[in-house]
Amino acid sequence: MKKIVPDPPRPLISTPYFTIHSDISPRDAIAHACELMRVVAETLDNHCRDNAGVPGLNLLANAAHAADSACVLAEHAKRRLEDAQEKGARS
């Protein structure tokens, strides 16, 4: 016999996939974020190279460029943070 009423939706997962330590320093957080962005950019770049000529890769190439740019900005912010800490230590 066929079921007329569909099954109810599954409950949403309430536990996070990952957590961030509340005591991580801004410098370390920026360093980790930069490394994650670098891996994203490298993965996208490799995919674009392996699939050259396939339509629609411009979007992925743009995403790789955006991740590279974000990484450069994060490295700049990290350097500025370190410079500010050094100036504060000297004062």
pLDDT band of 91, cuts 50, 70, 90: low
pTM summary value: 0.66
- Look at residue 1 in the predicted model and tell me its pLDDT: 66
Q: Would you state the pLDDT for residue 70?
A: 92
The per-residue pLDDT for range 47-69, each reduced to its tens digit, is: 989 998 888 888 888 998 999 99
What's residue 3's pLDDT? 73
DSSP assignments along the chain, one per residue:
---SSPPPPPPPP-S-S----TT--HHHHHHHHHHHHHHHHHHHHHHHHHTTT-TTHHHHHHHHHHHHHHHHHHHHHHHHHHHHHHHHHH-
Domain segments of the chain as ranges: 26-90
Amino acid 40: pLDDT: 92
